[in-house]
Structure formats: structure tokens, C-alpha cells
Amino acid sequence: MIDSKSVSIPVNQQISLRDVVKENTGLLKIDCDGQDTTILRNFLRNTEFFPTIYFENTIVDIPSLINSQETVELAFTLGYQFAIIARSDGLLIWAGQLGVEHLCDVFWMQLNVRKMHRPDLLYHTDVLLIHSKDANKYKNVITEIRKDQNSNLEK
């Protein structure tokens, strides 16, 4: 039995993401109250399909920071090339091509804000990971986000 905040689901009734994500899956959204990166890492280790992934990244301590870092590094090695990170209210924090640092500055900022006891500023981030095969998807999404931000400035 695995307990969650809402219900307890017996193991024999759970569905593996491997059984749900198929070749034509465009987006995988994970929102599991602090367990997103663990679930995502297990999925990435056991899949042959690489949809765009949207997950909530909660960093409250060094182990969760390391977990987030390792998850993004694994995604990068599997061909995820682009990331978009926003606050939970949708405010864009960072967008671009993944590189050597793999978002570590954003993750450290998230942890430091938490340590300052200001989780209202950045309790968690929403992360969108886009595979290299979907580079056009990244360009379209970030163009729309920035267009929306600019129109909000004009109001």
C-alpha cells in the first residue's frame, strides 16, 4: 500500500507510467506532492518514448536539490535539450537549452529562498522538459509565453 494525501492505492491497482506513455504521447504531466522527480527518474530509466514532460519541482533541502539535479541530468543524457522553468503562478524564471550546469543555479536559488523562510516567493517551480526531437515545440511554447508576458506589461 502506498499512502498519499488524498487516497491510499493498493500496489496491485497502480498503473506504471511505462504502460501509459506510448509513442504518440505528446505530454506527460506529473504532480505528486514532492515525489515528482523520483517518479520521473524511474520513468526515464524504463522508457523508450520521450514525450515533453511537465512536473512540479519542490526543493526543501540538499537531498531534494540533489534529486532534482540528478533527474535533469538523466533527462539531458536521454536527449532532453530544452527547459522552461516558471513559478507556480506562471511567472517565467528561465528558458533555454540545457547545458553543463543543468539548471543548478535555479535549484540553488529555490533552496536559498526556502531557507530564508520565504516559500511564498518560490516554494516550487514548474518545469517543462522538451526533447531534442521536439525543438520546434520549444520555440513555439517560449514564443507564446514571451508574447503573453509582453501583452501583460502593456496592460
Say if 13 falls within a structural domain. Answer: no
| Coil, helix or strand at residue 79 | coil
Say if 17 falls within a structural domain. Answer: no
Characterise 92 by phi-psi region: left (phi > 0), alpha (psi -120 to 50), beta (else).
beta
Task: Please tell me the pTM assigned to this model.
Answer: 0.81
Say if 116 falls within a structural domain. Answer: yes
Q: Domain with 101 in it: what CATH number?
A: 3.30.950
For cell 535549484, the residue is 107
Say if 12 falls within a structural domain. Answer: no
Please count the structural domains in the chain.
Answer: 1
pLDDT per residue over 64-116, tens digit each? 999 999 999 999 999 999 999 998 888 888 999 987 677 888 889 889 888 88
From residue 15, how far is each of 60, 72, 148 by CA, in Å? 28, 24, 37
Structure confidence at residue 8 (pLDDT): 57
pLDDT per residue over 128-155, tens digit each? 999 999 999 999 999 988 888 877 776 6
Say if 6 falls within a structural domain. Answer: no
Residue 118 belongs to what domain range?
Answer: 24-154
